[in-house]
């Protein structure tokens, strides 16, 4: 009897010992995994922090820390409000706040030539950049370029390109030295949310970020949103005069009674946003400075869209049209200047390949429509077109000098 009890006790202790060993091993592996993940995150943030610190200390910083004027170095007004570089260390909140400022005295105390801000929202590289450089050539001082790429993109145009160093900060820098474990967990979740939300609120974040950065330059009067698949279909002079002399912006906003229009409205958006306010339109817009200021200054409607516009509701199709309808409907002509072919049906427009590009095709896009411009009927309705595959570059470069009047 005693022997049996001893035997059972020994077995139980062995079993408990194995369980404790297994538990210890699992715990150690879990801790090691957490440490590894945190180490990778800290290393990543440290690298980014060092890059931002280096950039902040260099001439790339468009907004250096305030330095009181010295007898040998005076800071001019133009240097404060006409930044020559696009990189800075401001967070999204800071750049939105600064961009929302507007002078009460409209006439600036210096000579200023109005410029058009061309804002490229891309997935990474810009395959049609040579065509755009041909478009811009000879018109320096009349345009600004802003490039928004994903945070993990390594794309950097060559030094000879007009797009070189025109990439804006795509998210806020932060120092890992000030991050607690809780903060790190929030960073992880934020990064995951950005991946999940791409095409939703993060798409709008990117567009507002582009607008805010372009607004920092007080010489920018018109703001055009473009993608890497967009092309110009008129020469620069035509585009510049068309936009600078327009009485309104070009942001489409219409009431669509179908399920893909009103059917996307969420009643929880009320009463701030009612069904009668709900609008739809093209993602690709052009805005004057007044409309751009209204967009970056919005703190009322954006949170509602972020919280309640989820698939099948798409913010890039509804937020700007609804916002403009609510706050400044008189500022837009309710049409876009970017031509897109939706005749094929489906959720994506036609993608044009090299074989599609011809003078006849481009002329139909350029002059095949009628619209209203400054109260008069015009055959020039679109200034840009999409979506063009990268392999269209060579035929476009061959046609552009003759058809579009670009410099060859």
Rounded mean pLDDT, 80-103: 81
Residues 6+ positions from 297 with CB-CB distance below 8 Å = 96, 100
What is the distance between the alpha carbons of residues 346 and 104, in angstroms, rounded to a whole number?
Answer: 47
What is the pTM assigned to this prediction?
0.76
CA angle 6/11/15 to nearest 5° reads 150
Residues 6+ positions from 317 with CB-CB distance below 8 Å = 280, 281, 282, 283
What is the distance between the alpha carbons of residues 170 and 122, in angstroms, rounded to a whole number?
Answer: 11
Going by pLDDT thresholds of 50, 70 and 90, the confidence category of residue 405 is confident
**The pLDDT of residue 190 is above 50:** no
For residue 355, how far is the Cα from the chain centroid? 31
- pLDDT per residue over 335-374, tens digit each? 999 999 988 877 789 999 999 999 999 999 999 999 999 9
**The pLDDT of residue 42 is above 80:** no
Tokens encoding 187:
């960073």
- Give the per-residue pLDDT at 10: 47
Residues 6+ positions from 292 with CB-CB distance below 8 Å = 211, 214, 215, 223
214 in Cβ contact with 363 (< 8 Å): no
- Give the per-residue pLDDT at 200: 59
- Give the per-residue pLDDT at 263: 97
**Which of 21-25, 103-107, 376-380 has the weakest average pLDDT?**
21-25
**Which of 16-20, 43-47, 175-179, 382-386 has the weakest average pLDDT?**
175-179
Strand order in the sheet with 338-340: 231-232, 384-386, 338-340
**The pLDDT of residue 52 is above 90:** no
What is the distance between the alpha carbons of residues 12 and 19, in angstroms, rounded to a whole number?
Answer: 10
Rounded mean pLDDT, 242-252: 97
- pLDDT per residue over 63-81, tens digit each? 333 333 444 444 576 666 6
What is the distance between the alpha carbons of residues 220 and 383, in angstroms, rounded to a whole number?
Answer: 18
Tokens encoding 229:
């698949």
- Give the per-residue pLDDT at 13: 53
- Give the per-residue pLDDT at 75: 52
Higher pLDDT, 87 or 14: 87
Rounded mean pLDDT, 251-255: 96
The most distant pair of C-alpha atoms in the chain lies apart, rounded to whole Å, by: 109
- The 3 state secondary structure assigned to the chain is CHHHHHHHHHHHHHHHHHHHHHHHHHHHHHHHHHHHHHHHHHHHHHHHHHHHHHHHHCCCCCCCCCCCCECCECCCHHHHHCCCCCCCCCCHHHHHHHHCCCCCCCCCCCCCCCEEEEEEECCCCCCCHHHHHHHHCCCCCCEEEEEECCCCCCCCCCCCCCCCCCECCCCCCCCHHHCCHHHHHHHHHHHHHHHHHCCCHHHHHHHHHHHHHHHCCCCEEEEEEEECCCEECCCHHHHHHHHHCCCCEECCCECCCCCCCHHHCCHHHCCCCCHHHCCECCCCCEEEHHHHHHHHCCCCHHHHHHHHCCCCCCHHHHHHHHHHHHHCHHHECCCCCEEECCCCCCCCCCCECHHHCCHHHHHHHHHCCCEEECCEEECCCCCEEECECHHHHHHHHHHHHHHCCCCC
120 in Cβ contact with 145 (< 8 Å): yes
**Residue 298 vs residues 304, 319, 362: alpha-carbon distances, Å:** 11, 11, 38
- pLDDT per residue over 267-295, tens digit each? 999 999 999 999 999 999 999 999 999 99
Mean model confidence pLDDT for the chain: 80
- Give the per-residue pLDDT at 103: 82
- Give the per-residue pLDDT at 294: 96
Going by pLDDT thresholds of 50, 70 and 90, the confidence category of residue 192 is very low
What is the distance between the alpha carbons of residues 183 and 174, in angstroms, rounded to a whole number?
Answer: 11
Going by pLDDT thresholds of 50, 70 and 90, the confidence category of residue 406 is confident
What is the distance between the alpha carbons of residues 271 and 275, in angstroms, rounded to a whole number?
Answer: 9
What is the distance between the alpha carbons of residues 53 and 164, in angstroms, rounded to a whole number?
Answer: 20
- Give the per-residue pLDDT at 51: 35
- Give the per-residue pLDDT at 32: 64
- Give the per-residue pLDDT at 373: 96
């Amino acid at each position: 009897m005693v022997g049996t009890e001893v035997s059972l006790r020994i077995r139980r202790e062995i079993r408990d010992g194995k369980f404790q060993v297994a538990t210890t091993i699992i715990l150690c592996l879990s801790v090691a995994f957490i440490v590894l993940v945190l180490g990778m995150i800290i290393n990543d943030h440290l690298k980014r922090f060092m890059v931002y610190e280096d950039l902040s200390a260099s001439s790339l910083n468009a907004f250096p820390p305030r330095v009181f004027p010295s007898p040998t170095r005076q800071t001019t007004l133009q240097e404060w409000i006409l930044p020559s570089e696009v990189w800075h260390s401001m967070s999204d909140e800071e750049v939105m706040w600064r961009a929302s400022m507007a002078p009460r005295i409209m006439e600036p105390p210096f000579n200023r030539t109005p410029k058009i801000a061309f804002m490229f929202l891309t997935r990474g590289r810009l395959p049609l950049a040579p065509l755009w450089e041909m478009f811009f050539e000879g018109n320096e001082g009349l345009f600004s370029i802003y490039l928004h790429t994903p945070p993990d993109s390594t794309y950097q145009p060559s030094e000879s390109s007009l797009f070189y160093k025109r990439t804006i900060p795509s998210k806020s820098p932060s120092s890992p030295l000030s991050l607690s474990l809780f903060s790190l967990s929030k960073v992880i979740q934020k990064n995951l949310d950005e991946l999940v939300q791409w095409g939703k609120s993060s798409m709008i974040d990117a567009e507002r970020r582009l607008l805010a950065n372009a607004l920092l330059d007080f010489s920018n009067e018109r703001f055009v949103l473009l993608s890497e698949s967009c092309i110009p279909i008129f020469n620069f002079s035509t585009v510049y005069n068309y936009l600078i002399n327009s009485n309104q912006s070009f942001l489409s906003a219409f009431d669509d009674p179908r399920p893909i229009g009103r059917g996307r409205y969420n009643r929880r958006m009320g009463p701030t946003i009612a069904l009668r306010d709900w609008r739809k339109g093209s993602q690709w817009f052009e805005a004057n400075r007044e409309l751009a200021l209204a967009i970056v200054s919005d703190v009322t409607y954006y949170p509602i869209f972020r919280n309640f516009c989820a698939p099948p509701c798409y913010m890039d199709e509804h937020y700007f049209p609804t916002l403009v309808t609510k706050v400044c409907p008189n500022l837009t002509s309710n049409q876009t200047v970017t031509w897109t072919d939706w005749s094929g049906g489906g959720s994506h427009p036609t993608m044009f390949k090299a074989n599609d590009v011809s003078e006849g095709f481009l002329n139909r896009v350029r002059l095949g429509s009628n619209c209203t411009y400054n109260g008069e009927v015009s055959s020039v309705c679109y200034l840009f077109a999409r979506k063009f595959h990268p392999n269209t570059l060579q035929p476009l470069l061959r046609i552009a000098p003759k058809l579009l009047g670009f410099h060859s």
